[in-house]
Each structure stands twice: as C-alpha cells, then as structure tokens.
Amino acid sequence: MQLKTSLAGLLLHALGATATWTAYQEYLSGLPAHVSKHQDPRPAITFEPKQPFEKFPKSPSRGRNCYVQSHNDMETDDSPYILDAINKCNNGGRVIFPQGTTYVIGTALDLSQLCHIDLDIQAYIQFTNDTDYWQANGFFQTFQNATTFFELGGEDVNVYGGGMLDGNGQIWYDLYAANIYILRPVLFGTIGLHSGSISNLRFRYSPQYYNFVANSTDVVFQDINISGFSQSNNTAKNTDGWDTYRSSNIVIQNSVINNGDDCVSFKPNSTEILVQNLHCNGSHGISVGSLGQYPGSYDIVENVEVYNISMFNATDGARIKVWPGVPSALSGDLQGGGGAGRVNNITYEDMSITNVDYAIEVTQCYGQKNLTLCNEFPSNLTITNVKISNVHGTTSTKYEPISGYVVCSSPSVCSNITLDGIAVVSPSGVEDEFTCGDVDASLLHGINCTTVNKGSN
C-alpha cells in the first residue's frame, strides 16, 4: 500500500476535494496492494445472446510493446509521451499505460491514423480544465456543435486495460450554466474507426457526451462503466452514454451507465446497431434520435436491436424522438426541425423499468411547444416497422396515471408500430395507460389508449 498512500498524498493538494479527486480515489481503490509493470491480455469479445448484424473482422495479436512515460505529477502535459509511444507501436504493437501511473492530457490528440494497434490503459488519465484551450482546439464534429478531446480512428484498434479516463467535467458543468453556447468536449471520440473494440474501462465526468461514434464501422463497446454527476447546483447536461452518427455495425453491450441524458442515442444515419445487457440509471432512455433536426438533410436510423435493458430513475425507457416539419426551438443551443428521413426496423425487447416517467415514448413533435403548429406541419420523417415487447416495471409520478406516450404528427408518416407484452404500472396502480394519437391502436396490444392533445410532452 506504500505506493498508493504516497501518491495520494502528493496529489491531495493538486486535486482538492473535487469530483476529480473522487474519481482518482476510486481509481486508487481498485489497484492491487503491489503494483507491477505488466501487460493486460486483450479482453475476449463475445456477443451474447444476440449477434451483431454483420460479422466482425478478426484482430491479430501484437508483436511489440511500448510503455508510455509520464511526468506523474498531475500538472504537466503528458501528450508528447503518449504520441511518441503510439508512433513507435503503430502498425502491429501494444501501447501500455502502466498501472498506478497518472497522465495529464492538455493537447488535442489526432489519433485518426491508427492501424493494427492496442492501447492498454491501466492508468488514470485526466484531461486538463483549460476550457479556453479546449474550446479553441477540440476537434469539431459538425453534429450539434459536438467537439472531442481526441479523435481515435483508423483500422483494427483495441482499447482496454481497466483504467480510468476523467474528463474533469465539473468546471464545464458550471461554465455551461453560465453560457449555454460553450463548446464542451466529448470524453471519448471514436471517429472514423473501422474494426475495433473499446472494453474494460471506466469513464468519469465527461463535459458532454461520454462517447461519440461517428463515421465508423465494425466497432464494439463492452464492459464500460460510466458515471459522473455534478457536485454543484449546476446539473451535468447532455452527458449521453453513447451517440452513434453515420456509423454501422456497432455493438454496445454489458455496461453500466450512470448519467444525465440518453443512455444510448442513435443519431442520423445509424444502421445495423445492437445494444444489449445495459444497466442505465438517471438517463433519458435508449433513444432513436433526435432526427429531422436540419432542413435539407435526410436522416436514417434503420435496423436497430435493443435487448435486455434495466432502466432506473429515467425520463424514458424506449424512446423515438423526431423533430416536426417546421423549425422549432427546444433551447437556445438545441433547435431545428424540417429535416426528412426514415426510422425503420427498430426492435426493443425485454426492458425492466423502475421509476421511469414514460416506459415508452414515440413523438414527432420533439422540441415544438406549439402543438397546433406541429400538427399543421407534420414531420417529414417516417416511422415504420417498430416493435417494442416485454417492457415491465413501474413508472414515476410525473404523468400519473399515464405510463407511455405513442403519438405521431400524422398517420401518413407512421405505420406498423407494434407493442406486445407491456406490463407497466403507475404509482397509483393503473396499468398500461398510454396517450395515443395517429397510430394504429389495434397494434398496441393490451394498451389502454387515451387520446389527448397531440405533440411532445
């Protein structure tokens, strides 16, 4: 225990009683009594019980090791050391961030050209709190003003090791409360990766989304532990667990997510996505969308399978959210509407809910508070072939006795939405009472439909 105690003592002054200090203490508590320099075996990737839409390419073993140096002082930027090790071990090697070591990243890292490489992260990695630098230098991702600390892309890349990435989010939560237009970085940017895995890691205190997966194919996320709530009165907002965008054959599985926005969200042009075996707490559900945000765009979310989800203390369980056919403003930094596209072949199966506002929500009036206007200008985006089955548990008091909401902006843009085996109960004991509109109620098996004003809640 000598290493832990001395290192913790050195860092106490630098970190103070902050969320970052809490994350670092958590990292230390998971270390063995005697830390040794070693390489972790790459975790086995298996798909159970559901299989991905397409077979994943095999990843060969690596032939050499490169250990990343560190200043180990929690102050000095270690980015040059990281880039040096990656350059030496790219094309066939393993980069090792040793156990018990700390790293500071204060430089936006372009890791977009990786090839046949493993990143074995056993260490604690913290991104600096220089908000001016990151707003000016983070990688801009075009969608919803997202930026990332780094871009991890290329071919055949595996990241694992049991370590922790800390986004130093508290300063961002407080800054966003004062200025909603700041550019908050995503903790883990998987951008343009074709064949790879990210597994057995802990993500803490992301300024915005925890994962943004864009322009990528054949990537699996497994055994990821996400957490990081604000320790001030300023809520950690938009901290989605995963957002997928312009990507296909992505698997997200066997993970625990404690956050304050979508547990997983399928953004435009997400296809062949499998999500299974997740524990989600405090989220906005497993969400298709939002879609149709940008006029002139054609958004597709198609062939998505969601299986075996435990959802706690959330706004939604299974959710589809589409902007209307007219511009709308949900907030100053989130507005849109008028885009086109389709949602097709979406399956949610086996979801357990506890204290969730809506067990199921389908809306085509996302962001539009003027429901008359939404109905006058129905969504340009169609929703077809959606099956939601075996959802059970309890809802919150927010919409009691209503437990779900399935409302389209026009019957011409919604078809074949099926609900089966739904058993959700409001706190007063009312079971399966939903708000319904412009859908085929005969396909909502066992649901008691109440027709109320159409539109978003």
Q: What are the pLDDT digits (tens) for 349-397?
A: 999 999 999 999 999 988 877 777 777 888 899 999 999 999 999 999 9
- Structure-token match 């090839």, residue found: 115
- Model confidence at 452, pLDDT cuts 50, 70, 90, reads low
At residue 4, the pLDDT reads 40
Q: Which of 13, 38, 71, 284 is catalytic?
A: 284
Residue 50 is assigned to a structural domain of this protein: no
Instruction: Compute the distance between CA of residue 291 and CA of residue 89 in angstroms, rounded to an integer.
Output: 40
At residue 6, the pLDDT reads 41
Confidence check: pLDDT of 15 > 70: no
The number of CA neighbours under 13 Å toward the Cβ of 405 is 26
Rounding to the nearest 10 degrees, give the CA dihedral for residues 206, 318, 304, 187.
0
At residue 173, the pLDDT reads 97
Of 293, 298, 319, 261, nearest to 143 by C-alpha is: 293
C-alpha R_g of the chain = 22
Residue 456 is assigned to a structural domain of this protein: no
Of 267, 264, 262, nearest to 294 by C-alpha is: 267
Mean pLDDT of the chain: 92
DSSP 40-68: PPPPP----SS--SSPPPP-PPP-EEEEP
Residue 243 is assigned to a structural domain of this protein: yes
At residue 457, the pLDDT reads 41
197, 45 contact by CB (below 8 A): yes
**Active-site annotation holds for 284:** yes
Residue 431, CA distances (Å) to 129, 244, 317, 356 in order: 48, 33, 16, 14
Instruction: Return the percent helix, strand and coil in the chain, to nearest 5.
Output: 15, 45, 40
Q: 230 is in which domain, residue-wise?
A: 2-43+60-450
Residue 54 is assigned to a structural domain of this protein: no
For residue 35, give the CATH number of its domain: 2.160.20.10
Instruction: Compute the distance between CA of residue 391 and CA of residue 424 in angstroms, rounded to an integer.
Output: 7
Could you count the other beta carbons within 10 Å of the beta carbon of residue 313? 15
Q: Which two tokens stand for residue 325?
A: 């056919």
- The alpha carbon dihedral of 107, 112, 114, 118 has a sign of positive
Instruction: Compute the distance between CA of residue 325 and CA of residue 293 in angstroms, rounded to an integer.
Output: 9
Residue 61's Cβ-count burial label (10 Å; 0-12, 13-18, 19+) is exposed
At residue 197, the pLDDT reads 98
Residue 30's Cβ-count burial label (10 Å; 0-12, 13-18, 19+) is exposed
Instruction: Compute the distance between CA of residue 217 and CA of residue 56 in angstroms, rounded to an integer.
Output: 9
pLDDT tens digits along 343-358: 999 999 999 999 999 9
At residue 453, the pLDDT reads 55
pTM of the full structure = 0.94
Residue 272 is assigned to a structural domain of this protein: yes
At residue 329, the pLDDT reads 75
At residue 378, the pLDDT reads 87
Rounding to the nearest 10 degrees, give the CA dihedral for residues 30, 36, 37, 38.
-70
Instruction: Compute the distance between CA of residue 305 and CA of residue 388 in angstroms, rounded to an integer.
Output: 10
pLDDT tens digits along 237-296: 999 999 999 999 999 999 999 999 999 999 999 999 999 999 999 999 999 999 999 999
304, 346 contact by CB (below 8 A): yes
At residue 38, the pLDDT reads 73
pLDDT tens digits along 120-162: 999 999 999 999 999 999 999 988 889 999 999 999 999 999 9
Instruction: Compute the distance between CA of residue 397 and CA of residue 139 in angstroms, rounded to an integer.
Output: 41
Q: Which two tokens stand for residue 321?
A: 């959210």
Total number of domains constituting the chain: 1
At residue 456, the pLDDT reads 40
The number of CA neighbours under 13 Å toward the Cβ of 444 is 22
Confidence check: pLDDT of 398 > 90: yes
At residue 22, the pLDDT reads 86
Residue 455 is assigned to a structural domain of this protein: no
Average pLDDT over residues 210-217: 98
Lowest average pLDDT, out of 13-22, 202-211, 435-444, goes to: 13-22
Confidence check: pLDDT of 19 > 90: no
pLDDT tens digits along 415-440: 999 999 999 999 999 999 999 999 99
Residue 169 is assigned to a structural domain of this protein: yes
Residue 457 is assigned to a structural domain of this protein: no
Q: Which two tokens stand for residue 298?
A: 């054609």
Confidence check: pLDDT of 16 > 70: no
- Structure-token match 């497993």, residue found: 286
